[in-house]
Amino acid sequence: MLENIVYNELCYKGYSVNVGTFDTVEKDENGKSIRKNNEVDFYATKGIRSLYIQVTTDISNADTREREIRPYFKLNDQAQKILVINRPLGENLDENGFSIIGITDFLLKFI
């Protein structure tokens, strides 16, 4: 339901929103090339502004946080990478330069 709220708000604010996955080729433990599928919740554009957005309930669990930001490391462009969480939190940058913001501030102040 949280993803639907973010999607609807992006559309309401005039963003063109895409949802989907992208593939990368990586090496397994034996050195064999394998294709991996990576998901990004939303890729939103408006004019020259581009955003990758991942939506999650919480990132206090290290495994959840890793799963949510993993695709961002594979994306090699200058679009802003945002993690929206379901808790009250103003916008912060993590150690990788990704924006982490609570849903309330995202809806009211960010876009």
CATH number assigned to the domain covering 2-110: 3.40.1350
Q: Where are the domains of the chain?
A: 2-110
For residue range 27-65, what is the model confidence (pLDDT) as tens digits?
Answer: 888 999 999 888 999 999 999 999 999 999 989 899 999
Contacts (Cβ under 8 Å, ≥6 apart) of 73: 96
**Whole-prediction pTM value?**
0.87
* Residue 111 scores a pLDDT above 80: no
